[in-house]
């Protein structure tokens, strides 16, 4: 009987602690699938490591960052601190540190490198998958 009680307690504890981790992300999940040619002038910011550019789509636009020669990340510019998109401005890179995205309404800050919240938010950024063909085409999708 004591073993059953302990087992039940462990299961219930893990279920309740997991509930907190699995809160729904406040940024809507908008279906997106697009191939971009990074050699085009509109995406020239992605030609070098450390470059970034904006892409239309997602909830409030997407920002794409080139982390390495063959590694890209893409995040929605919709701030998790503004789930209803009441703020007129989507996230944008900090002029003093382009690796941080700023929410001008809540002053929350996010990492452009990995999308994690730096300050002012419980949630990180909504991320999109990326696949690079090694030449010029980058696929961004969810």
Query: SS3 of 7, please?
Result: helix
Q: How far apart are CA 75 and CA 53, in angstroms?
A: 11
Domains of the chain are 32-141 (2.102.10.10)
DSSP assignment of 47-94, as one string? SSTT-EEEES-TTT-EEEEEEETTEEEEEESS-TT-TT--SS---EE-
Q: How far apart are CA 124 and CA 73, in angstroms?
A: 14
Q: What is the pLDDT of residue 116?
A: 97
Confidence of residue 19 (pLDDT cuts 50, 70, 90): very low
pLDDT tens readout for residues 93-112: 999 998 999 998 998 999 99
Q: How far apart are CA 63 and CA 125, in angstroms?
A: 11
Q: What is the pLDDT of residue 17?
A: 46
What mean pLDDT do residues 48-68 have? 96
Average pLDDT, the chain: 88
What mean pLDDT do residues 47-59 have? 95
Residue 9 has pLDDT above 70, yes or no: no
Q: Does residue 101 contact residue 39 with C-beta atoms inside 8 Å?
A: no
Query: SS3 of 104, please?
Result: coil
**Sequence-distant (≥ 6) Cβ neighbours of residue 23 within 8 angstroms:** 122, 123
Q: How far apart are CA 10 and CA 84, in angstroms?
A: 37
Confidence of residue 2 (pLDDT cuts 50, 70, 90): low
Confidence of residue 22 (pLDDT cuts 50, 70, 90): very low
């Amino acid at each position: 009987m004591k073993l059953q009680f302990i087992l039940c307690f462990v299961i219930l504890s893990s279920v309740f602690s997991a509930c907190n981790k699995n809160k729904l992300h406040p940024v809507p999940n908008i279906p997106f699938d697009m191939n971009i040619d990074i050699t085009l002038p509109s995406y020239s910011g992605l030609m070098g490591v450390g470059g970034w550019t904006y892409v239309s789509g997602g909830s409030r636009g997407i920002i794409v960052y080139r982390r390495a020669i063959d590694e890209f990340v893409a995040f929605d510019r919709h701030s998790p601190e503004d789930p209803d998109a009441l703020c007129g401005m989507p996230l944008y890179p900090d002029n003093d540190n382009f690796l941080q995205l700023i929410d001008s309404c809540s002053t929350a800050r996010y990492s452009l490198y990995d999308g994690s919240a730096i300050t002012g938010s419980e949630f990180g950024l909504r991320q999109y998958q990326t696949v690079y063909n090694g030449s010029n085409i980058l696929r961004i999708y969810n």
